[in-house]
Structure 1
């Protein structure tokens, strides 16, 4: 799930640490009373923002227990007389020495995150389609995607990486609609992947911005500028052109991809109403757990009998037990990891970079799927796909610029 967590707090590296002069008569405990937890609203707070989860809500600060690790660490801080009396140059040298490689080359680190995001996403799409070629049960495979991800999250919580965030009834009520839409969108996406070419599914899913704009205008009552609507015209035109001559076209794949677009649109609407101070890793874990519960019943009802009457045995006969289990495990891992890396990537960049990154990701997936599976596409399909992707790029650019201007206006 491609979500984003923006932190308003910033850190200046390379500057000498500032120290407050304390009078000798002040009690030692008074130093700890002026400290406060990093990440509170006063420091800029946190803002959930992303394609998969977009609640544009400023998060409330969580109270810190007096005996929490943060407070304990801060109460141990004491002014260093030697450093205070040392020359300014010595203090700056110590500050420079503490700057690590990740802080010194942030652009290189961000580029690595983008590479891993694209790489994992491409591998997931290719492996996912290969599984459907010998095991055409998208509802069951969708459950496996989420099950492996949930197992990964539970193991991570067990070892404390990350520490599990508590959840209550109020937060659960906010996350259930988001998770239900996520589960429906995930299943219908996989139904489309199983029945048509991967490139065609991603071309149809390029219509997602159109559904988002329509929902914002007619459901949320937000006025969408004419320029944004005009930028969506080539998206609709391109998808229509590609659909008319797509060799793998069938109505099941087309309608499933359209339902996925609608589900993800409603997910965005519900996400904007969700307010939480939970970090993105824990948030995605809880959404995955709820989505898994949502996806199990349709998989059992629609595919359970077929799986028991030869679905599993046919797949094992084609590729063997070891490869079958290995493929299911790894496709689930790649699904979870690419969504988690996408979250970590998008929280490091501005909205405009985020928009461009999402468009380029779709181009990479379409291109690699055509190369790997050797899908034959007509000239009209290729032109339509290119027009649709170009329209998404224009739309994303205009929308990101508008959001940036809106934030600057509020800041001013």
Structure 2
């Protein structure tokens, strides 16, 4: 187990360091190849995380604890990177901590509720519900931040709402636990975006995400201990070990946490390399990628109506993303 984990850790660490490095020589002449590799790694890591994470819940149905392990592995990754000099640690102060605290709390709530949703319903349906996130972002911008959202943006969100509604009505794995937690996750990540804008700093994205992960981990531990702690001590760990063995349980949970941290890190680094429109379209395609692979891997049965609803929702997100990105680019030009 130790050798296997160390090998995976070293390989993925090397990949991430390469992703953050400036291209030289051949790569400098062909930046499109570098950008393409970024997108490939983003999609690959995200798909592997979603599949591995869902399989864990088959024999270890404790999403609060699993959420903590996701963040724990990410924090461990950052601490090792800092201590070995692979990543230069940015200084932290009380002012910055106060700014990052609400961002991290929203990140913690959003991550936990997302994980609970993925444990309760199919991966494809959970991602369909999470397609509503742009709607909450637009609502927050209009009614909380006081920013005028163009009518064309609101119009583009109509297919998203309709598509999710249609998919929900006939989804075979539907239950209220999964649906409500996915909606709470959407709201939490919307507020995270709002607080992130207020907490804009000169710190690089990798260090910023590392600090947010550390604070979010501290926030997630108490509810995990209270809600699932007694069950885990009484029979949770024993049942899982009896089903798959200690080695598989520990390695799968560890790898899920590592893939979670890396795909978030690569997604952030990708955003820094491409235009908003490119990233927006890439994000939509990523969701399609994950939904498609999850249906194939898990053999989820979906009704025709659910498939149509999912397609409408994703198309709406694509339309919204393109319109919003163009509006942002026009603002920069002006």
Question: Normalising TM by the smaller chain, what interval?
Answer: over 0.9
> Which secondary structure does the structure 2 equivalent of 1:347 belong to?
helix
1:264-320 CA distances to partner (integer Å, 9 max, x unpaired)? Answer: 000001011003111111100000000000100110000000001100000000000
For the pair 1:240 / 2:165, whether they are aligned, the reply is yes
Q: What is the aligned partner in structure 1 of residue 67 from structure 2?
A: 142
- What are the equivalent positions in structure 2 for 1:122-141 lying under 5 Å apart? 122-141=47-66
Shift of residue 321, structure 1, vs aligned partner: 0.6
Alpha-carbon distance between aligned partners in 2 of 1:269 and 1:330, rounded to the nearest angstrom: 31
1:184-227: CA deviations, max 9, x gaps? 00000000000000000000000000000000000111111110
1:377 aligns with 2:302: yes
Report the more deviating stretch, 339-348 or 116-125.
339-348
Q: How far apart in 2 are the matches of 1:232 and 1:277?
A: 33
Cα deviation, residue 371, structure 1? 0.2
Correspondence 1:295 to 2:200: no
Which residue of 59, 69, 83 maps to 1:158?
83
Partner residue in 1 for 2:16: none
Equivalent position to 1:329, from 233, 254, 279 = 254
Secondary structure class of the residue paired with 2:132? helix
2:115 corresponds, among 183, 190, 193, to 190
CA distance in 2, matches of 1:131, 1:336: 17
Aligned positions, number: 313
Query: Matched residues in 2 for 1:126 and 1:139: separation?
Result: 18
What is the aligned counterpart of 1:359 among 278, 284, 287?
A: 284
- Distance in 2 separating the partners of 1:185 and 1:210: 16
In structure 1, the partner of 2:274 is: 349
What TM-score results when the alignment is normalised by the length of structure 1?
A: 0.75
Quote the offset at 1:102 in angstroms.
1.6
Q: Does 2:220 match 1:313?
A: no
Superposition deviation, residue 261 in structure 1: 0.2
Q: Which residue of 2 aligns with 1:266?
A: 191
Q: TM-score, normalized by length of structure 2? A: 0.93
1:53-91 deviation line (CA, Å, top 9, x unaligned): xxxxxxxxxxxxxxxxxxxxxxxxxxxxxxxxxxxxxxx
Structure of larger gyration radius: 1
Cross-structure match for 2:46: 121
Once residues 262 and 143 of structure 2 are traced to their aligned partners in structure 1, the CA distance between those partners, rounded to angstroms, is 35
**What is the distance in 2 between the residues matched to 1:329 and 1:212?**
32
Q: Which position in structure 2 is the counterpart of 1:278?
A: 203
Q: In 2, distance between residues paired with 1:277 and 1:237? A: 40
Gaps of 5+ in 2: 1-21
Partner of residue 394 from structure 1, selected from 319, 323, 334: 319
Report deviation, 1:124: 0.1
**Further displaced range: 99-108 or 221-230:** 99-108
- Select which of 192, 199, 202 maps to 2:127: 202
- Please report how far the alpha carbon of residue 341 of structure 1 lies from its aligned counterpart in structure 2 after TM superposition: 1.1
Root mean square deviation of aligned Cα = 1.1
Residue 147 of structure 1 deviates from its aligned partner by: 0.1
Secondary structure at 1:267 match in 2: helix
Distance across 2 between alignment mates of 1:209 and 1:396: 8
Name 2:97's counterpart in structure 1. 172
**Where do 4+ consecutive residues of structure 1 move more than 6 Å?**
none
